[in-house]
Amino acid sequence: MSDAGSILIVNNITAGYGEGAMVADASFTLASGEILCLVGESGCGKSTLLKAVMGTAPGLQVLSGELVLDGQSLLPLPEKERRLLCTEKIGLVSQSPGASFNPIRTYRKQFIETLKSHGKYDRPAFETMVAEAFGKMGLSDTRRILDSCPYEMSGGMNQRIALSLALLLEQEILLADEPTSALDATIQLQVAKELLRLRDVSGMAQVVVTHNLALAQFLADRIGVMYAGRLVELGTPAQVLSEPRHAYTRALIAAIPTLDGRLPTGLDGAPPLSGPSGAGCEFAPRCPVRRAGCAEKRYSLTNIGGGHLTACSCGSEGAS
Ligand SMILES: Nc1ncnc2c1ncn2[C@@H]1O[C@H](COP(=O)(O)OP(=O)(O)O)[C@@H](O)[C@H]1O
Ligand SMILES: [Mg+2]
């Protein structure tokens, strides 16, 4: 893994809510202007991983590993200092609508407060700037929205409003947790284009969680596939989506509905609720190509060439 020039280094992070780990040994790096998409079924630890990086989720503890933000190692820092540093440099748009905001205070107050705390509040230009950001997210009627409270808005509206604030803050890193899941296809595309623009214009590095593999292909410089709290495959969209080497990635791709009327291949069962636990491959019980030994032995994430990493015995065979 090349760390040179990385704005964020996530090294072997194991994190959980008290009773055991929900994310184990997660490692990735993020360069300025790079977009990493995280995919995987619900419950695989995508949100937990983002929250572990941000360090602001109550009850979530990083049990081991290393986080380096802009050259600064975060975990040895006192809690308050870490929080300050993260909120200064990283924007987190949460998955749960409204979690990014206080539900009973107007957006206007919260936007002003947040912009002020980042030294980006410009009173005369405020409404024009917000209107511009809202417009990019497909929102109109700026004044009415600003004078509403988050509890009055739908999930999709809240997400777009949170993303608009992220546009205005222009932090170094954006962690966006399923930012388009509540949006219809055309708005989804508009939001995705805006994320790309942010990357291109501001060099903002992003980790975007999505269930939509087509969106990940469009957005990502690299895609990370998570299963049961572990990263099981990592690479460019071409590597992961066109030459998937992990049986789970193949199963995810085969489950995508298409417009040609063919029924996608389903994937029976669900990820384990207990997170990463056993000594073997967590996907083995559901794996259509499981081999003798897969349930007992876990293959570590291995570079099989060109920065394409897989943790599957099928895909990593013969890797150096
Ligand atoms: N606040 C919490 N307290 C305890 N367990 C949690 C909490 N949030 C998530 N989990 C558990 O952590 C695991 C991973 O969840 P999550 O990170 O939300 O997955 P994803 O975002 O991939 O759907 C799940 O088993 C979930 O039940
Ligand atoms: Mg989630």
Tell the residue number behind the tokens 């006192």, with chain if given: 78
Tell the residue number behind the tokens 């943790």, with chain if given: 311
More confident site: 261 or 133: 133
- Ligand 1 atom closest to the Cα of residue 42 is 23
pLDDT at residue 253 greater than cutoff 80: yes
C-beta of 218 in contact with ligand 1 (< 6 A): no
Task: Quote the ligand 2 centre to 50 CA distance (angstroms).
Answer: 9
pLDDT at residue 17 greater than cutoff 60: yes
Predicted TM-score (pTM) of this structure: 0.93
CA distance 268 to 266: 6
pLDDT at residue 96 greater than cutoff 90: no
DSSP 284: G
Task: Quote the ligand 2 centre to 303 CA distance (angstroms).
Answer: 27
Give me the mean pLDDT over the 244-249 stretch: 95
- The pLDDT value recorded for residue 301 is 93
Task: Quote the ligand 1 centre to 261 CA distance (angstroms).
Answer: 34
Query: pLDDT tens-digit profile of 271-298?
Result: 888 888 878 999 999 998 998 889 898 8
Give me the mean pLDDT over the 33-42 stretch: 96
C-beta of 313 in contact with ligand 1 (< 6 A): no
Q: Is 306 left (phi over 0), alpha (psi -120 to 50) or beta?
A: left
**CA pseudo-torsion sign 287, 292, 297, 303:** negative
Share of the chain above pLDDT 70, in %: 96
- The pLDDT value recorded for residue 184 is 80
CA distance 287 to 216: 23
- Ligand 1 atom closest to the Cα of residue 49 is 17
- 14, 17, 22: residue to mutate for ligand 1 pocket, most atoms within 8 A of CB: 22
C-beta of 42 in contact with ligand 1 (< 6 A): yes
- The pLDDT value recorded for residue 19 is 74
* Ligand 1, atom 12: closest residue by C-alpha: 22
Give me the mean pLDDT over the 100-111 stretch: 93
CA distance 119 to 4: 29
Residues with CB under 5 A from ligand 2 (ion): 46-47, 95
CA distance 138 to 88: 26
Task: Quote the ligand 2 centre to 122 CA distance (angstroms).
Answer: 34
Identify the band that residue 319 occupies on the pLDDT scale cut at 50, 70 and 90.
very low
CA distance 233 to 147: 44
Task: Quote the ligand 1 centre to 62 CA distance (angstroms).
Answer: 14
Q: Which two tokens stand for residue 186?
A: 């055309």
Query: pLDDT tens-digit profile of 182-229?
Result: 778 888 888 899 899 989 988 999 999 998 999 999 999 999 999 999
Give me the mean pLDDT over the 99-107 stretch: 89
CB 174 within 8 A of CB 206: yes
Identify the band that residue 146 occupies on the pLDDT scale cut at 50, 70 and 90.
very high
Mean of pLDDT over the chain: 91
Query: pLDDT tens-digit profile of 63-72?
Result: 999 999 999 9
- The pLDDT value recorded for residue 98 is 67
* Ligand 1, atom 16: closest residue by C-alpha: 45
C-beta of 47 in contact with ligand 1 (< 6 A): yes
- The pLDDT value recorded for residue 314 is 81
Task: Quote the ligand 1 centre to 203 CA distance (angstroms).
Answer: 30
- 17, 42, 211: residue to mutate for ligand 1 pocket, most atoms within 8 A of CB: 17
Show the beta-strand stretches assigned E in 99-228: 173-177, 205-209, 222-227
pLDDT at residue 318 greater than cutoff 50: no
CA distance 243 to 133: 37
- The pLDDT value recorded for residue 320 is 37
Report in angstroms the alpha-carbon separations of 239 from 43, 136, 234, 236, 310: 24, 31, 8, 5, 10
Q: Give the number of the ligand closest to the Cα of residue 23.
A: 1
Q: Which two tokens stand for residue 200?
A: 């291109």
Share of the chain above pLDDT 90, in %: 68
